[in-house]
Structures are given as C-alpha cells and as structure tokens.
C-alpha cells in the first residue's frame, strides 16, 4: 500500500465517513489502484469456476430449447468464453478508471446478451422461464464480481432497461411479463444494495489499513529521532547503514561525512548545569540543520555532544564548505561559554572524510572522520580538519572572528 497522505487527513476521512463518497484526490487515486489490484486477484480466482458454471448452462439449452442450443453453444465458446479469458488476462494492466469500468461490465453484459438473444429466437418459449437466467447474471455481476458502485449502477440500468424492452415486446402473457420484470427489479435493488455495502466496506477497510500503516510509520519515525535535539538518532543510523547506503553508493562515486563535537562541553555542563547543556545541544543541532545543503543530507546525534553529518555526493571541497558553514553558524549564535578559550562562546570542532560509501566500509569512514576530529581538537579546537590533512581555517578559537 502506498503512503499517500498524513495521518490527520486519514483520520478526518474516517470521522467524516468519507468512505461513503470520494476520498481526497491522493487517497482516492491510491484506493483506485489498490481496488483494481484486489479485483484482478479476485477475478483470477473466479476464472475457472465461472467458466465451468456458465458453460454448464448449455445443459439447460439442450433440454429446454433444443432447436437453438447449437447457436447458444457458438455464443458460449466463440464469444463469451474468449471475452472472459481476455478480460482476466488484461484487466490487471488497465490504468484508466473508465476503461476498467467498461471491462468490469463487459463479461456480464455479454452473458446477458447471449441469454436474451436465445430467448428472442424462441418465441414459443416466451411464457417459459429461460429469461430468468438473465436475472441470475445480474446478481452474479453485482454480488460476485463486485465492480465499483458507479459501474454497477450503470450496468444494472442497462441490463434492466434491455430486459424490460425485450420482455415487453415478447409474445407472452401479461402475467409472465409482470412476473419476470418484478423478479428483475427485485434482483436489481437487492444486488445494488449489496454492491454498495461491499464497496463501502472495501473503502472503509482501505482507510483503516492506511491509518494503521501511517501510525506504524509515525511510531517508527519517532523512534528514530532524538527527543532533545530533534535530529536523527543511532537507531536511524543503523537503519540507514542497512538500507540506505546501497542507493547512495550506486548513485555517487563519493560522499562526505562530518563528525561534529561541541568544544569543552563537559566543562559547559559543570559550569552552567545540565539544563543549560540540553539547551546548548539543541541550539547546536539547529545550527547544523540550517547549514546542510538540502533534505538529502542527514544529521544524526551520534552520542553525547557529538553529531554525525552525512552528505550524499559531496566531495572533499563540498564537505569542507558545509563544515565551515556549521562552524560559523554555531559562532553566530554567541552562546556564552566563559571557559572555552578566548572567545568565551560555544564553538565546535569537526572532522571531515569524503570517500565512496559502502555498507562494509562505512564504520571505517566514521572512524577516519573521528580521527580528523581528534586532530582538530589537538589544533586548538573551533576548526575543521580533513582526514589525513592539515586543519582548515585557524588553529585556535582565538583567531576566529
């Protein structure tokens, strides 16, 4: 099932009983695709039983109307049965709502036409009961095939109208015409109500399934977010390594990693308290979030005061530019830290690594970025270091403006 909407929109549809009408466009489109796939699977299961049952009706032709059974056989085997096979073969590939509706109505309409043609060819049997087979076709169409309700309505109107005209013109008694028409109208009403109920249940079940899916995805998303900073957490990183790296590796020859560490954060906590420390980390996280390039870049709270930034497609120069933006964004906030060198504000040190991603080598890249971070720390902090290279910018916080 496709994720097509927000949980709030789906729950609003449930509250407003939208399954009795049309859903908002995105949900409606997803439901139409879902229902076509479900019907295609159901039709494949019905194919053999319906073919056998329909063609067994030839026994009634042989017994009741022996003069025209050969015509009925030709219609069965050369027209209706091939149409069934074509329908069940190609229905699943139809994407147009109009064409799928036409296809759903085609098989029962051909069955109905075959029965009524044989009825017309046997005027002496007009007072018999052969025409009641057409009523059974309508019941089968609306209850067993379960087309969309709008398709069911138009198909029922067509079949009932045709049945009325044909039986009205037949040389039969008034009693026979009234009996068969009354039976057809009763069948039309009952089968249409059943079809509407089936469609409502299907739409309601789709909404509830979508609600469950979105709730699950929301819980999963919340479980992958650090509640303090709002950034992704280590659980997200594990999922990313398991499922996301392959796509990035296939698309980009090289990508970047930045390890970000808040300078002298333990001293900050000891000086200002843990509540201030939490505020500091949340502020640094926001500075990182506004400094990355776009949604493809991922910011992960790696642990404590450390953040990991993943930059798909970034080479060394691109990754260094992002890291420098992060460093400056943190400084611009001017968060007081009187025991953090000459600047007396919160700063960050960063290690950068750019290379080809792979699931097996990703932890090694993190370790290399961490090595570069350690080098940045050893060069006076508040700077950026590329792995196995010299620090970029100044080597100490006092030189930064």
Active site residues: 305
Other Cβ atoms less than 10 A from the Cβ of 260: the count is 30
CA 227 – CA 350 distance, rounded (Å): 23
Query: Beta partners for 311?
Result: 256
Cα separations (Å) of 357 from 135, 217, 253, 363, 367? 66, 27, 8, 10, 13
Backbone angles phi, psi at 302, to 5 degrees: -80, -30
How would you classify the pairing of strands 298-303 and 348-355? unpaired
- For residue 14, give both structure tokens: 């449930």
Residue 49's region, left for phi above 0, alpha for psi from -120 to 50, else beta, is alpha
Contact 280/346 with Cβ under 8 angstroms? Answer: yes
Cα-Cα end-to-end distance for the chain: 53
- For residue 226, give both structure tokens: 């650090």
Residues in CB range of 48: below 8 A, 6 or more apart:
none
What share of residues in the chain are helix, strand, coil (percent, to 5)? 70, 10, 25
255: closest CA among 343, 165, 362, 122?
362
Other Cβ atoms less than 10 A from the Cβ of 250: the count is 8
Contact 147/193 with Cβ under 8 angstroms? Answer: no
Backbone angles phi, psi at 146, to 5 degrees: 50, 60
Sheet holding 306-311, edge to edge: 298-303, 306-311, 255-262, 348-355, 384-386, 391-392
């Amino acid at each position: 099932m496709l994720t097509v909407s927000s949980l709030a929109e789906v729950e609003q549809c449930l509250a407003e009983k939208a399954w009795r009408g049309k859903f908002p466009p995105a949900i409606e489109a997803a439901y139409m695709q879902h229902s076509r796939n479900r019907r295609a699977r159901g039709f494949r299961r019905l194919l053999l039983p319906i073919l056998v049952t329909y063609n067994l009706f030839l026994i009634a032709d042989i017994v009741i109307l022996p003069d025209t059974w050969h015509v009925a056989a030709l219609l069965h085997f050369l027209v209706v049965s091939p149409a069934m096979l074509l329908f069940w073969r190609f229905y699943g590939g139809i994407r147009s709502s109009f064409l799928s509706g036409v296809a759903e109505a085609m098989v029962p309409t051909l069955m109905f036409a075959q029965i009524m043609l044989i009825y017309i060819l046997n005027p002496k049997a007009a007072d018999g009961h052969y025409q009641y087979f057409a009523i059974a076709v309508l019941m089968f169409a609306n209850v067993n095939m379960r087309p969309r309700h709008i398709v069911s309505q138009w198909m029922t109107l067509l079949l009932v109208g045709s049945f009325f005209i044909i039986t009205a013109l037949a040389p039969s008694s008034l009693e026979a015409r009234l009996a068969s028409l009354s039976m057809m109208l009763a069948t039309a009403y009952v089968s249409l109500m059943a079809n509407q109920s089936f469609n409502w249940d299907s739409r309601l079940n789709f909404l509830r399934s979508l609600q469950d899916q979105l709730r699950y995805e929301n819980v999963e998303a919340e479980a992958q977010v650090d509640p303090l900073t709002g950034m992704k957490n280590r659980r997200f990183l594990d999922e990313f390594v398991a499922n996301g790296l392959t796509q990035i590796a296939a698309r980009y020859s090289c990508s970047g990693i930045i390890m970000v560490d808040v300078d002298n954060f333990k001293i900050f906590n000891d000086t200002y308290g843990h509540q201030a420390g939490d505020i500091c980390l949340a502020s640094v996280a926001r500075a990182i979030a506004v400094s990355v390039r776009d949604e493809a870049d991922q910011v992960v709270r790696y642990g404590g005061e450390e953040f990991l930034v993943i930059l798909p497609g970034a080479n060394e120069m691109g990754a260094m530019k992002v890291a420098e933006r992060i460093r400056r964004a943190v400084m611009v906030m001017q968060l007081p830290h009187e025991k953090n060198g000459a600047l007396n504000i919160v700063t960050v040190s960063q290690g950068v690594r750019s290379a080809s991603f792979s699931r097996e080598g990703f932890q090694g890249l993190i370790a290399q970025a961490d090595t570069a971070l350690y080098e940045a720390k050893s060069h006076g902090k508040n700077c950026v270091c590329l792995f196995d290279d010299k620090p970029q910018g100044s080597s100490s916080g006092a030189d930064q403006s």
